[in-house]
Amino acid sequence: MDAITVIRAKRDRAELTDEQIDWILAAYTDGRVAEEQMAALAMAILLNGMNRREIAHWTQAMIASGERMDFSALTRPTVDKHSTGGVGDKITLPLAPLVAACGAAVPQLSGRGLGHTGGTLDKLESIPGWRARLSNAEMLAVLADAGAVVCAAGDGLAPADRKLYALRDVTGTVESIPLIASSIMSKKIAEGTSALVLDVKCGSGAFMKDFADARELAETMVALGTDHGVATTALITAMDNPLGRTAGNALEVRESVEVLSGGGPDDVRELTLALAREMLAAAGLDGADPADKLADGSALDSWKRMIRAQGGDPDAELPVAKQTHVVTAERAGVLVGMDSFKVGVAAWRLGAGRARKEDAVQAGAGVQWHAVVGDTVKAGQPLFTLHTDTPETFDTALESLAGACEFADEGTEFTRPPLVLDRVAASNR
């Protein structure tokens, strides 16, 4: 077996054999296949695709490259959620403790932001003392104590994927549906959860810009989960407009606590409850109503236990940016669109995100918007507030926001688009 033969096979649109897939991933993980050779194969996969058998075996080979976690000692049913990434997508923060308050165990392995999309770990690290890195034993202890844990994946979990993801990020091959699906699902299956709910974003601020691609990705991941014995469903959700009212790290933590306290933006609350109900049904706990747990304070108590169990102080003051800049509306009208991608890039340039994995982020940086789609805005009214410790970034952030908002004339009737676009389950693929 050699790398060039495998590359040529996929370049020429051939179906890779199980043996070829096993060999190439094992050889790449231990350094026998060069980075440029794997980059060539990744590009061939992006251009020519994979069938269901190839994707399933590619996923299995990445799982086999590392360890598998075991939550069988827990007394609660386990269920996890994964989002494909968006702008203002803080849903994991209120969702994990909410589902835990309803009786499930939520082992949430999350990642960091890159480019215009925010990272859950970056957001939580704005809480003083909170730790993202936990051993497997510590993760189990937090789950037993708080019912939910949000942490970084350990080095032993799907190491082939960790190495390949870093390569895809710098070779223009991130958008390949077979590689996205296998990357996400190899980690989630190796994590050992019994059930999984996927939030597949669709729109300007998502990796999948159009519905057909989002649907294909959702169906592919649901099939992978089902084939590996994990009860898997997916919601396809809109990401043309950013979620909530903030994109940043500490800014989004504050907004999440508002939701856990029974308030917060309508769209964040709506999506949190929709995903919570989906997760509880997957875990066999569909008799619980998560809205009740927001109203009675149980979800907020669960959040505080989770944060404390990971070394954080849920009552501490969150970081605040040193400088702010207010952007006002140039005209009056009805706000009918806010480009998620532009808002995400602005937050990134202010310091809330990173261009490379090793870059640091600012806890207090980000963008806050004072109107959402459907609102009537007056000329001169505050539209955005930019937050940063580095005011020299204001100009480039403002460039990113140019044309982000679309207005219609005052009095125009406007119906907000739906947040949940579709549901994909094993029975309706």
Among 183, 186, 298, 400, the one annotated catalytic: 183
| DSSP conformational letter for 16 | P
Q: Rounded distance, CA 97 to CA 80, Å?
A: 12
Homologous superfamily of the 323-408 domain (CATH) = Pyrimidine nucleoside phosphorylase-like, C-terminal domain (3.90.1170.30)
What is the reported pTM?
A: 0.92
Q: Are 6 and 20 in contact (CB under 8 A)?
A: yes
Return per-residue pLDDT of the chain as tens, 429 residues: 899 999 999 999 999 999 999 999 999 999 999 999 999 999 999 999 999 999 999 999 999 998 888 888 899 999 999 999 889 999 999 999 999 999 999 999 887 776 677 789 999 999 999 999 999 899 999 999 999 999 988 778 888 988 898 888 778 888 899 999 999 999 899 988 899 999 999 998 888 899 999 999 999 999 999 988 899 999 999 999 999 999 999 999 999 999 999 999 999 999 999 999 999 999 999 888 999 999 999 999 999 999 999 999 999 999 999 999 999 999 999 999 999 999 999 999 999 987 766 778 999 999 999 999 999 999 999 999 999 999 999 999 999 999 999 999 998 988 888 999 999 998 765
Report the topology of domain 79-316+422-428: Pyrimidine Nucleoside Phosphorylase; Chain A, domain 2 (3.40.1030)
DSSP output for 33-45: S-HHHHHHHHHHH
pLDDT for res 167: 87
DSSP output for 241-293: S-SSSEEESHHHHHHHHHHHTT-S-HHHHHHHHHHHHHHHHHTT-TTS-HHHH
Q: Rounded distance, CA 365 to CA 86, Å?
A: 17
Q: Which residue ranges make up each domain of the chain? A: 3-49, 79-316+422-428, 323-408
168 is catalytic: yes
List, for residues 104-152, the tens digit of each pLDDT value: 999 998 877 766 777 899 999 999 999 999 998 999 999 999 999 999 8
Among 57, 82, 112, 342, the one annotated catalytic: 82
Q: Which amino acid is at 48?
A: N
183 is catalytic: yes
Q: Are 252 and 246 in contact (CB under 8 A)?
A: yes
Among 89, 122, 161, 240, the one annotated catalytic: 161
187 is catalytic: yes
Residue range 3-49 in CATH 3.40.50.410: no
* Residues in contact with 380: Cβ distance below 8 Å, sequence separation at least 6, in sequence order: 328, 329
Pairing of strands 231-238, 195-202: parallel
